[in-house]
């Protein structure tokens, strides 16, 4: 059986990554739309980028009106600024929201189609050149063909994808993640772990994505607690930046499964950050998926040193899921109730969430058939 493999056009890593990539940025166009957030701008990271653009003789305009996770309205506002300012390429600087928004802006200025109409279709077009610079270690958006955003009219978090959305350039400087607070470090780190584990246990996985997933999982179990405990730990930040990139490469080629399918509706309807909703779900979702490939989960338990070859596969698989739950506890991941979500409101929305989860297509990648009723049952178990 054959498989294909795609990632960002080129990537630069390390504390001098931006300087190394400067000439490439200078060749991408004459004027950039920088899509970023207000917090990133206040931190001084946007100024570091604009200084490099000045050095390269590139003009720029900054769009930082990103109040929360991406939706169609903020993307259209960014696209309007891109056109008004006469920009010819885009730079996303920040976490998942700026990076996904940057992709979506490029898509919208090219075809002006409503995003809801593109669900399930291949997002293709002659999109503007795109550079992605993450300031968190988690989403992997700097190397993926995916956009996750909310359609404001229907309150639905939708997933769009296509090879033309993959950034042309990824710049990974772990120093840019040093200012991320503990809560963001935990959320994005668990997002990266979810990417790697789901890819490893996806129907679409392959031997190449397995290599990336295994290395990412080892790094995350080793370094995420350290980065959470001490955000100034440069070694932990560096290893997590690489792990997030690796996990992004994984989902770009093997996709995600049940956890992400069920996570997006929680984010859309209850405004829970994506990484946190993943972390809330991962234990129950993987427990459900375990029956489909216990040998794969067992291999991961052995990989992180929680089991050995003498341990039965089903027992080792359970040990791995317990290890994920322990990690989530170490990172102070809240329950739905602890986050402040009303139980009655959650149960009222469950039928819509289950339908949206299945419609997204992600649960179908799980190596165990998933029905709408299965999704409802898992949502209910989050309250037990």
* pLDDT tens per residue, range 59-73: 999 999 887 788 999
pLDDT at 181 over 80: yes
The pTM (predicted TM-score) of the whole model is 0.94
- What is the predicted pLDDT for the residue at 378? 98
The answer, yes or no, to whether residue 157 has pLDDT greater than 90, is no
Which residue do the tokens 């400087």 mark?
Answer: 173
pLDDT (tens digit per residue) in 347-381: 999 999 999 999 999 999 999 999 999 999 999 99
pLDDT of residue 69: 81
How far is it, in rounded angstroms, from Cα 51 to Cα 360?
41
Kind plus residue range of the DSSP H or E element containing 342: none
What is the reported pLDDT for 119?
87
Q: How far is CA 383 from CA 259, 271, 343, 344, 377, in A?
A: 16, 18, 8, 11, 11
The per-residue pLDDT for 2 is 82
Whether the predicted pLDDT of 175 surpasses 90: yes
Is residue 81 scored above 80 in pLDDT? Answer: yes
Each residue's pLDDT tens digit, 83-107: 999 999 999 999 999 999 999 999 9
> The tokens of 73 are what?
């309205």
How many CA atoms lie within 13 Å of 168's alpha carbon, on the beta-carbon side?
Answer: 16
Q: Are strands 156-161 and 10-13 parallel, antiparallel or unpaired?
A: unpaired
Three-class DSSP labels, 112-178: CCCHHHHCCCECCCCCCCEEEEECCCCCCHHHCCEEEEEECCCCEEEEEECHHHCCCEEEECHHHHC
Give percent of the chain with pLDDT exceeding 90. Answer: 87
C-alpha of 164 from chain center? 18
Cα R_g (the chain), whole angstroms: 20
Average pLDDT along the chain:
95
2 three-state secondary structure: coil
How far is the C-alpha of 109 from the C-alpha of 279, rounded, in Å?
A: 34
pLDDT digits (tens, 9 = 90+) for 260-306: 999 999 998 998 998 999 999 999 999 999 999 999 999 999 999 99
pLDDT at 162 over 90: yes
User: Among 37-46, 117-126, 231-240, 266-275, which range has the highest average pLDDT?
Assistant: 231-240
Q: What is the pLDDT of residue 66?
A: 87
- Give the whole-angstrom CA distance, residue 256 versus residue 251: 6
Which is higher by pLDDT, 296 or 43? 296
Per the DSSP assignment, residues forming a β-bridge with 122 are 161
């Amino acid at each position: 059986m054959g498989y294909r493999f795609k990632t960002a056009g080129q990537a630069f890593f390390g504390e001098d990554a931006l300087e190394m990539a400067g000439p490439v940025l200078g060749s991408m166009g004459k004027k950039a739309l920088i899509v970023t957030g207000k917090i990133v701008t206040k931190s001084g990271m946007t100024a570091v980028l604009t200084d490099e653009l000045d050095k390269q003789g590139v003009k720029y305009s900054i769009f930082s009106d990103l109040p929360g996770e991406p939706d169609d309205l903020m993307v259209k506002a960014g696209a309007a600024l891109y056109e008004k300012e006469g920009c010819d390429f885009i730079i996303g600087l920040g976490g998942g929201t700026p990076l996904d928004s940057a992709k979506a802006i490029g898509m919208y200025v090219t075809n002006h189609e409503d995003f809801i109409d593109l669900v399930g279709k291949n997002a293709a077009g002659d999109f503007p050149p795109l550079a992605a610079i993450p300031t968190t270690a988690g989403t992997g958006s700097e190397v993926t063909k995916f956009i996750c955003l909310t359609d404001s009219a229907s309150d639905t978090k939708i997933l769009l994808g296509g090879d033309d959305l993959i950034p042309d350039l990824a710049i990974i400087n772990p120093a840019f993640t040093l200012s991320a607070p503990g809560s963001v470090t935990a959320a994005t780190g668990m997002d990266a772990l979810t990417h790697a584990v789901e890819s490893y246990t996806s129907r679409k996985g392959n031997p190449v994505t397995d290599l990336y997933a295994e290395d990412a999982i080892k790094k995350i179990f080793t370094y995420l607690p350290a980065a959470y405990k001490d955000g100034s730990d440069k070694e932990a930040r560096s290893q997590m930046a690489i792990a997030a990139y690796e996990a992004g490469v994984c989902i770009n080629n093997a996709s995600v499964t049940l956890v992400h399918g069920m996570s997006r509706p929680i984010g859309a309807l209850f405004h829970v950050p994506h990484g946190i909703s993943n972390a809330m779900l991962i234990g129950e979702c993987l427990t459900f998926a375990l029956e489909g490939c216990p040998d794969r989960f067992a291999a991961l338990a052995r990989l992180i040193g929680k089991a050995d070859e003498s341990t039965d596969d089903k027992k080792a698989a359970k040990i791995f899921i317990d290890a994920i739950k322990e990690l989530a506890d170490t990172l102070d991941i809240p329950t739905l109730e602890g986050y402040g979500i009303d139980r009655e409101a959650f149960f009222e929305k469950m039928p819509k969430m289950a339908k949206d989860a299945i419609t997204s297509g992600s649960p179908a990648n799980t190596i165990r058939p998933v029905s709408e009723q299965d999704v409802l049952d898992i949502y209910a178990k989050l309250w037990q």
